Amino acid sequence: MKNRRENFLISGIVLIVFGALFSLGVNIAMGGVVGISGIVCFIIGMSVPSQMGMSPEAVAEWKPSMERLPDAGRFMYRVDVTIDEPIKSTILCGPCGNLETVDGPRPSEYTCQECGKLLWSSEEE
Ligand SMILES: [Zn+2]
């Protein structure tokens, strides 16, 4: 899988962006945690060899830190979108840890199929 490293970088960027958004809108502590996670993720993506990507184990390890985050009305989630065709979005649900893969780029809104929580909606902004 040659695009795993890129996925890691995208994850980092996504987390940094969400960290910034959380800091502004919800909770600065939560934003800090997410932002730092993003920076760490980005650094790992820059430094590790390509074969060390987001293995299922890495995703599973990442989950527990999310469960400790306070429920501030929004649910934590992570989206990885591949760069190369075919475009697929991998969505990790924070509340239940369910990992779902959907075809195409990140959808405008998404409800977790496992726990039924609306993870995000563009209309909410
Ligand atoms: Zn869920």
Which residues of the chain register pLDDT less than 70?
1-4, 18, 22-24, 26-28, 30, 41, 45-74, 123-125
Residue type for position 4:
R
What is residue 4's DSSP assignment? H
DSSP string, 9-54: HHHHHHHHHHHHHHHHHT-HHHHHHHHHHHHHHHHHHHHS-TTS--
Report pLDDT for 33: 76
- Ligand 1 centre to CA of 91 (Å) is 10
Report pLDDT for 123: 63
Q: Is the pTM of this model over 0.85?
A: no
Report pLDDT for 61: 58
Report pLDDT for 90: 93
Angle, CA of 14, 15 and 21, to the nearest 5°: 90
- Ligand 1 centre to CA of 4 (Å) is 23
- Ligand 1 centre to CA of 77 (Å) is 9
> Which of 122, 86, 92, 125 minimizes the C-alpha distance to 107?
122
Report pLDDT for 35: 77
- Ligand 1 centre to CA of 67 (Å) is 12
- Ligand 1 centre to CA of 47 (Å) is 31
Structure tokens at 100: 């779902």
Report pLDDT for 122: 75
> Which of 64, 61, 93 minimizes the C-alpha distance to 80?
93
Q: Residue 17: which residues within 8 A CB-CB, separation 6 or more?
A: 38
Q: Are 61 and 106 in contact, with CB atoms under 8 Å apart?
A: no
- Ligand 1 centre to CA of 25 (Å) is 23
- Ligand 1 centre to CA of 99 (Å) is 8
Q: How many domains does the chain have?
A: 1
Per the structure, the complete domain to which residue 44 belongs is given by: 4-124
What is the spatial distance between Cα 72 and Cα 122, in angstroms, rounded to a whole number? 18
CB count within 10 Å of CB 117 equals 15
